[in-house]
Amino acid sequence: MEKKQLDWSNLGFGYIQTDARFVSNYKDGAWDAGAVVTDANIVLNECAGVFQYAQTIFEGLKAYTTEDGHIVCFRPDLNAARMADSARRLEMPIFPEDRFVDAVVQVVKENAAYVPPFGSGATLYIRPYMMGTNPVIGVKPADEYMFRIFVTPVGPYFKGGAKPLTIKVSDFDRAAPNGTGHIKAGLNYAMSLHAIVTAHEEGYAENMYLDPQTRTKVEETGGANFIFITKDNKLVTPKSSSILPSITRRSLIYVAQHYLGMEVEEREVLLDEVKNFAECGLCGTAAVISPVGKIVDHGKEICLPSGMDEMGPVTKKLYDTLTGIQMGKLEAPEGWIKTIL
């Protein structure tokens, strides 16, 4: 298979249309067989549930070229399970988890020419999503749905790659205590757009959202969970029922404990204690681990000792170990790597 002629090393995090995508439709209580198609466009009725009441959920995972030339993806079963959780919360039908993984494999295979080469710094981002498709005008769930997966080759999520970011403590709330923060619904991202545009205008890369009830605890950013490293080498990560259960974060907890012999604390993290940490990072599929150098809380600067020049040393070890597993340089725990080609 011949690779597409793309400037792999200079890709940003953007959409590049590829050759194939997967589509399956749900009607009369059942999913059809699904198919790989070439058309990237969707034609829907003007009153489709997705347009009127934002009934849409999505996932994000990546495919990698390993050092020995295989194409693999990372823990797709967990994305399938999380999408099922999202579907339940928004009264949508579940796309069967085994079919989800099969569809990911099919789409990546069909787009193998777009999977960035090993060592390029780029990866293939995989975006499964589902939406309500039939007309809905009273507020209620749709009866018909479309599940799709497209892929796009991507570079780093944040400009500047691994350069430490400056972020701000947001005055906006991301998710209510009993709301939808723990699922991957488009609505969580729609309501974060004003906050992220405002943060960017002010020169910040991202927002640190606090818990809306007390505004004292760290939740997450618009697109990633937080990890912190203490001065005595522990990994601390916020526990909250209103943050997205990041697959990267769950994997890093395991990596820290079992590969690096670190202690891990998953617990409430007060904004007040952030000044005591040695390192901070944002973790997620898109973010991988993006280091944070400075957090600005209403004019007050919290400068992490790891500084603004490079990733902190422990964050770097976590990064190297996780990406080493994903790219086949290090042995993966059982079941983490799904070989596609």
Name the site residues for ligand COI (rule: CB under 6 A). 60, 223, 284-286
225 binds ligand PLP (CB under 6 A): yes
Where do we find the tokens 């002010």? 202
User: Distance of CA 132 to CAs 46, 83, 100, 202, 291, Å?
Assistant: 12, 15, 18, 36, 37
- Over the window 203 to 222, marking each residue x when it contacts ligand PLP by CB under 6 A and - when it does not, the resulting string is -----------------x--
* Total number of residues shown for the chain: 341
Residue among 186, 243, 245 at smallest CA distance from 58? 186
Distance in angstroms (rounded) separating the CA atoms of residues 205 and 69? 34
Nearest distance in Å: CB 92, ligand PLP: 18
Interface residue with ligand PLP among 57, 122, 244, 325 (CB under 6 A) is 244
| Residue 300 is a catalytic residue | no
Q: Judged by CB under 6 A, how many residues of this single chain contact ligand PLP? A: 12
Lookup: tokens for 65:
């070229």
Nearest distance in Å: CB 20, ligand COI: 20
In the list ligand PLP, ligand COI, none, the entry touching 289 (Cβ below 5 to 8 angstroms by class) is none
Interface residue with ligand PLP among 92, 131, 247, 292 (CB under 6 A) is 247
Nearest distance in Å: CB 149, ligand COI: 13
Q: If phi over 0 gives left and psi between -120 and 50 gives alpha, with beta otherwise, what is residue 182?
A: alpha
Q: Which is nearer to ligand COI, 76 or 284 (CB)?
A: 284
Nearest distance in Å: CB 285, ligand COI: 4
Give buried/exposed letters for 210-235 (b at 16+ CB in 10 A, else e).
Answer: bbbeeeebbbbbbbbbbbbbbeeebb
Among candidate residues 62, 168, 184, 294, the one labeled active-site is: 184
By CB atoms closer than 10 A (0-12, 13-18, 19+), residue 309 is exposed
Q: Which is nearer to ligand COI, 20 or 244 (CB)?
A: 244
Residues 57 and 184: beta-carbon distance below 8 Å: yes
60 binds ligand PLP (CB under 6 A): yes
In the list ligand PLP, ligand COI, none, the entry touching 168 (Cβ below 5 to 8 angstroms by class) is none
Nearest distance in Å: CB 191, ligand PLP: 12
Distance in angstroms (rounded) separating the CA atoms of residues 235 and 252? 9
Give the binding range for ligand PLP (CB under 6 A) out of 9-17, 152-160, 241-249, 296-304: 241-249
Query: How would DSSP label each residue in 187-209?
Result: HHHHTTHHHHHHHHHTT-SEEEP
Distance in angstroms (rounded) separating the CA atoms of residues 255 and 283? 13
Nearest distance in Å: CB 82, ligand PLP: 7
Q: Which of residues 282-301 bind ligand PLP (CB under 6 A)?
A: 284-285
Lookup: tokens for 290:
């993006």
Q: Which is nearer to ligand COI, 285 or 306 (CB)?
A: 285
Residue among 127, 129, 143, 139 at smallest CA distance from 45? 143
Distance in angstroms (rounded) separating the CA atoms of residues 237 and 240? 10
246 binds ligand PLP (CB under 6 A): yes
Q: Which is nearer to ligand PLP, 134 or 323 (CB)?
A: 323
Q: Which residues bind ligand PLP (CB under 6 A)?
A: 60, 220, 223-225, 244, 246-249, 284-285
Active site residues: 184
